Structure formats: structure tokens, C-alpha cells
Homo-oligomer: A and B are copies of this chain.
């Protein structure tokens, strides 16, 4: 590193926003709130707001960080390795997201597998006779020839490890390094979401394997989070709660108090910050609405509880996407609650259905378009997603009729609602068919359809029925399309019950039209369910859920007869 490079590095170290310890640096990163989604663009923005480091001479800055990355991989002096790794991680955080991508491309391409060596070893390897021949007989080689074979095989295995393995391994044993690696992976995922670059994809897949090994359940500590925990830990619970945001301290205290439990998985190398946490309510019955769980007073006395309801599970590290820590957490929490409270016999969730509305609106738009183009008319709905080109009226005839009747009386309705709301802002567009009417209703600006008993009664039947279809039948690569459904199904749960108007928050209405779902964990069925979901994509559901689907099949048949 030249003197100018050092000077820049020293200056960046003296910035008020950086400190000498990594941990503080990491605390300054914006906290991402979404399960499994990365938000590194905001990280990038944060750092690019600081013109003194990354903006004044970004090219030079990148060269300096690249030099410290090179040292981190290639130095053999273990006494300076800690300070080299600190330089590298500090430098990395000072880069904009664009520069980070350039740097990670260098890492992926220049510190990759040594393929010349691999090819040499492959030729050596192919020239040696294996311990068991092609036809399955022992080759009868003596031990020294066998030793040579095993040695070459081991060398080939080692040679196939990319050079960036060293960086990952060194960071894993470096204070703060594991956390750094999760942030680096979050960045990688956000880059790959925009553009698929094969070498970055390979880097990500390698890093993911490493992280999954290091974060094995054996290395994680289950922690019962209580009001007695440190403020810095509780602050993280508030910040990372992704399902039902915590509104104030009282709300938090209630979630940690009588009749409630909160458990987190901690890793020794990332102290004071659970990687994932779950919130549990102890209730008499499986709750139907989030209102009962979060707001209704007073809580059930714990001795009377027979149900442990998981009402929120939040992952705190976007960089751990695809590494299923939740499965082990749920299993351990069930074991713990069973041991401590033998009277609790039902383990269920009250879960959001985050992808339902997006799927439904896309379906309504594309099918309505198909219907109308056949009728020589193009409706004004627009939806970026391309739906099915196979025509299907997803509404039953009676639903279609009810929606069209609604549309015809729309002026009357608008006036009625206006009288209720004392406002004239609602624009209700009618439609040429039931699907268009429904699309217009559901996309109304302020979810006005939820304020009218008549509108609610008309849309409830199709919304509930199509929700069951979405959860049980809509798949992507053989797995449930809905991310939360896929999570609980792969953990071995079954779909138990749909709950109408269970979450009237804006988020709830936007994601799933206010519908929530109970998944149930039956300890004696967990493995069987997980297995048949994994191997055949089979989704276990209650007869209640199936009854919607039977209507659906009947409905299709009726449509076919029209």
C-alpha cells in the first residue's frame, strides 16, 4: 500500500462516524426490518452521504480497500491478521453499494478456484486406480498405492475450494467478522436481485454454505427474552419485529409479560442480538384475530392456557436468507413450553398471508382482460405481472351476480358511503364483469370496501375461497407460492383455519385483504408432514380448508357448464 493510500485510510479512520471497534461500526448500520429481504441500498446511501470518504476519490478508495482485502487473504502473519481484517471491514463499510459490487466482483473472479491446479490434479486422479474398481471389486492395491490415491483425492477436494474460502474462514474467527459476513451476503443478495452475475452467484452460494455450517443449531443458544434483558437487546426486538410492529414501550412490555413468551436464538460471535426471535401468546383457544392477541385485556391466566400461539417470527439478518433457523427455533420452543406447561397441548400460529393480494390482483387483471378481449373490450386495469393466458372465470356464478349487482347500484352506494364518512373523495369505478368490479373494489385507495357491511358481505365468499385456493394449490417449483406458508409447511405444520378480517391494519389489508391463517404444529405429525411436503409438495390442511377447495372445483364445473 502506498503512502497516499495509507493517508486516505487514516483519514477515513478519523471520521466521526467510524470508531476503532467493529462492533460500533455494525451498530451504525441501518437496521433492516423485513424477513428474508435485504435493504442494502439504504446502507449504500448512508455511506455515500459521507462525501469525505467514498465520494471525494472513490477510485482510490476502492483500490485501498482492495489492497486490504488482498492482505486479508494472502498474509501469513497471524499477528497482524486482526488489524488487516479490521482495515478491510472498515474500508468495506466506507464504500458505496456500487463500489462494493465492484469489489465483490474482484473477490469472486480473482480469488476463485485455481483451475490450472484443479485440471492437473484431475489428470493425476484419473490416472490412479481407485480402491474399488468400476465393477465394484476391491482393486487389490497395496496400502502405499491406496495412500497415494486418497492423498490425490484430498488434494483435489482442497483445490476445488476457492481462494476466498480463506477470507471467510478468517473473518469467522475474527471478532465481529461473522456479523460482517452476514452484511456482505445481504449486499450480494441485493446485487443478485437486480442482475444475475454467475461469479457473484457462485460466491453467494459458497458463502451461504459456510454460514449454514457456522450457524448450526448446536452453535446457537436459545434465550428467553424478558423485560429484565438489556435495553440494547430489547431495542433490537423493537427494531426487527417484522410482522406486527411494536408501537411503544407498553406494547413491548406486554409482549414480554404474563401470558406471553419471547424466545431468540443467539450466536456467541454476535452477542446481544438474536438472529431470529419468536413471540408466543398463551391462550385458552387458538386466536382468530391479531386484535385478541395484541390488544385485548387482560391476558389469560397462564394456568388456564391450553394453546401456545406463535403470532410473530422475525429474522434479524437479511444476510441469512435461505438458512432456515426458524424450524429449529419452533421445535425447541415447543419442547420447552411442553416441559414447563404440560397443560398446553395445542401449538398453532396466527400468520399473515403476505403474497395473497398480489397473486389475486394479478389473476383478476389478466383473467378480466382475457374475458373482455373476447368480448371486444379492453378494461382499463393495469398490472405489470403477466397472468395466465388460459381463460378461467375465477368467480362462481353467484359471486359474479352479486358483484355485478353491486356495480349497477354503484352511485347509490357511493352516496350511502359518503353519508357515513362525511367525505366525497371515494371514486368507485364499476366494471364490465365481476372480476373487474372486484379488482376495482380491492384497489380502492383507502380500503373503503372494508367500511361497508354490504361490500364486505359480497366480497367475503370469493376472497376466503380464493385464499384457500392460493394457499393450498398455487405453487412455485412444487412448493407453496406464499413465503410464510412455505416456511411453516416445510417445518411440518398444517393449514388449519382461515380467519376473516383478522388483521385490519393497513399492512394486513394490503397483503391479504385482512385475512389471516392459523397453521397448527402437531408434534407427532411434524416430521411426516415435512417429509411429504418436501418430497411430493403435499400440503396438509384441515377439512375446513378443503371444503373451500371442494366448492372451488364445483364452481369450476358450474362455470364449465355455462
Contacts and interface: CB of A to CB of B under 8 A. Distances in A.
Interface in A512-559: 526-527, 530-531
Interface residues of A, number: 54
A476 interface: no
Given A77-B531, A149-B198, A219-B268, 7 more contacts: A77-B527, A78-B530, A122-B125, A146-B199, A150-B202, A213-B213, A219-B219
A132 B221 CA distance: 44
B173 A217 contact: yes
B269 A150 contact: no
A153 B160 contact: yes
Contact of A147 (B77, B122, B201): B201
Contacts of A77: 527, 531
A196 interface: yes
B173 A216 contact: yes
A143 B112 contact: no
Interface in A186-203: 196-199, 201-202
Given A77-B531, A157-B160, A218-B172, A115 B143 contact: no
Nearest to A131: B199
A532 B431 CA distance: 83
A76 interface: yes
9 contacts: A77-B527, A143-B196, A146-B199, A147-B196, A150-B199, A156-B160, A160-B160, A172-B218, A221-B268
Contact of A122 (B116, B126, B131): B126
Contacts of A219: 219, 268
Contact of A115 (B130, B173, B198, B218): B130
A443 interface: no
A79 B77 CA distance: 46
A222 interface: no
A388 interface: no
Contact of A132 (B115, B161, B205): B115
A82 to B, nearest CB: 11
B160 A218 contact: no
